[in-house]
A and B are shown apart, each in its own frame.
Chain A
Amino acid sequence: MPDRVLTTKPLTTAGMVIGIGMGGFVDGILFHQILQIHNMLSTRISTNTLIGAKTNMVWDGLFHALVWIATAAGIIMLWKAVKRANVLLSGQALFGSTLLGFGLFNFVEGIIDHHILSLHHVYERIGSSIWDYVFLASGVALILTGWLMIRYSRSAPIN
């Protein structure tokens, strides 16, 4: 029987999409709900009033619906990947790609929502601040870490 050429691409693509969705959940759950340092449209609609807070809550819900769809899509892709015979099921590659997706979310969402559209800022109370750039930097760090983990998993010997 000839040796199959193993690939991590379907697995890491699924992991990346799951990471995008879960990165959105980290933002929404941690920053919007638990810490409440910003909400989805908190620059446009102030959260200082009950109406403003509840209006932002609706938009936070719609944001969560979008990242739920991304997570669900990633899970479907993961299911398809693990059923393929030529996919190397590397936990390190999967975790690395999830980190990469998490970083992609932080970077893209940070650029568009914080800097271009100014829908909200990381620490809304002080507006545009160093924290918006820390958020972007966290995205770059997560992308690099995830990418290195995927590369290392490919070069590691297969048992």
Chain B
Amino acid sequence: MKLAERLATIPLFITATPAWACTLCHSRTAEAVRAAVLGSDFASNCAALAAPAPVLIMAAYAVRKYLL
């Protein structure tokens, strides 16, 4: 195969994958991921994600005060 023909296949590897779903991409998969992340449960998921943080801060404060 000539070099030019080999090189011509490179864009196919880059563009043809269905997993092309970077968070801000404009593909069907990316849009579905954004819809899932930013859906109606977005606020509750954010709250759940952050829930350990205030408890850890309070625990660290208590450890500093009483154990260290």
Contact = CB atoms under 8 A, between A and B. Distances in A.
Contacts, number: 77
A105 B59 CA distance: 10
Contacts of A20: 56, 60
Interface string B21-35: 101000001001100
B63 interface: yes
A147 B55 CA distance: 19
B contacts with A: majority SS = helix
Contacts of B52: 105, 108-109, 112-113
Contacts of B46: 62
Interface residues of B, number: 26
Contacts of B4: none
Interface string A25-64: 0000000000000001100110000111011001100110
A9 B59 CA distance: 15
Nearest to A154: B68
Contacts of A52: 36
B8 interface: no
B19 interface: yes
A13 B60 contact: yes
Nearest to A110: B52
Interface residues of A, number: 35
Interface of B: 18-19, 21, 23, 29, 32-33, 36-37, 41, 45-46, 48-53, 55-56, 59-60, 63-64, 67-68
Interface of A: 8-9, 12-13, 16-17, 20, 40-41, 44-45, 50-52, 54-55, 58-59, 62-63, 66, 70, 97, 100-101, 104-105, 108-109, 112-113, 117, 119, 147, 150
9 contacts: A9-B68, A40-B49, A59-B45, A62-B49, A70-B56, A100-B63, A105-B56, A108-B56, A119-B49
